Amino acid sequence: MKRKSDILPFIYMLFIATLLGACSEKISTTDEDSGKSARLTISFHPESAKESRATDATEMFSSLALYIFNKDDGYCEYSELITTFAEGSSVEEYSRSVLVTPTTKVIYAIGNYNSVENELSLTLSPNTTMEQLEEMMVQNTTFTDNGLLMIGKEEVAINQANVNADVIMERLVARMDIYLFKNEKLKDIEVNVVSVELVNLIQNSQCKYQVQDMPATPVIGRDNRNIGKALSGYTGGNLPETPDLIYYSYQNTATTGTPNDNITPYIRVTVQIGGDEYT
């Protein structure tokens, strides 16, 4: 196999990263004895619904864990685990209206918590505490559009009889879209992509809303895709609606000035140009 460090001028690769009735179990204190005099109506939805290149699957969630805590003492006034929605469907939005005491609340939401690909560091239950949610971690060996973990957190002041709240859940992963073309110099030469591999993707994360740091002990992996695709030329204009490849990774904040093959994310492409193979 020939190796050629300057193969990128021969192939255009465009990357776009974007930072993508129910069965439930719930617990609540009794309304009569707990001083719940205000009604809190909450709407939960993914932030991906606001993104122009979000796929249908990443705009939806198939399970939801929600908790309403008192900000002052961390007491959980309401919790609900929705393991599946009607007939195993996914939804773009979910609303819940509950009676609460007139004190400031902290609302947590975990979308797709019940997806088999999301390995949480604790088993969520109606009695999970706010401290446990703040410390929770997730690890994945695979990522799929319809199973991406989403985290939402919102502080809401209960200062009137009826309060509405909007809880936006953000995906913890970044998405990389890859479009493959050959350039004008290769217009008369057959070019085939053999494989594309994302190296040093991050497979674990803290489960915090708007998390800024990668885990102290990141789990690093790779995702290799065998393509076998003949490339056409890029004619400019708008990109195709569907990318050739989509990759996901949790946050990687490696900032060393010199690339490190052990931690720095990179793409490895294997191509055949005129019958010769290059990486």
What are the phi and psi torsion angles at 276 (to 5°)? Answer: -95, 145
| Type and span of the H or E element at 246 | strand 245-249
The string of pLDDT tens digits covering residues 30-58 is 444 578 999 999 999 998 544 555 556 67
Nearest to 156 by CA among 70, 82, 214, 74: 70
pLDDT at 10: 47
Q: What is the mean pLDDT of the chain?
A: 84
| Type and span of the H or E element at 270 | strand 266-273
CB atoms within 10 A of CB 187: 10
| 137 vs 187: which has the higher pLDDT | 137
Burial environment of residue 251 by CB neighbours within 10 A (0 to 12, 13 to 18, 19 or more): middle
- β-bridge partners, 270: 195
Query: What value does the mean pLDDT take over residues 105-111?
Result: 97
Q: Which of 43-57, 108-122, 224-238 has the lowest mean pLDDT?
A: 43-57
Task: With a cut of 80, say whether residue 76 has pLDDT above it.
Answer: yes
Task: With a cut of 90, say whether residue 65 has pLDDT above it.
Answer: yes
pLDDT at 54: 53
Which spans in the chain are helix H? Answer: 130-135
Nearest to 97 by CA among 173, 192, 161, 143: 161
Query: What value does the mean pLDDT take over residues 181-197?
Result: 89
Number of alpha carbons in the 13 Å side-chain half-sphere of residue 31 = 6
Question: Going edge to edge, which strands form the sheet with 94-100?
Answer: 22-28, 76-85, 64-70, 105-111, 150-156, 162-171, 38-46, 94-100
Residue 84 CA, distance from chain mean position: 19
Cβ neighbours of residue 257 under 8 Å, at least 6 residues apart?
none
pLDDT at 182: 85
pLDDT at 41: 98
Helix %, strand %, coil % of the chain (to 5): 10, 50, 45
The amino acid present at 123, given as its one-letter code, is T
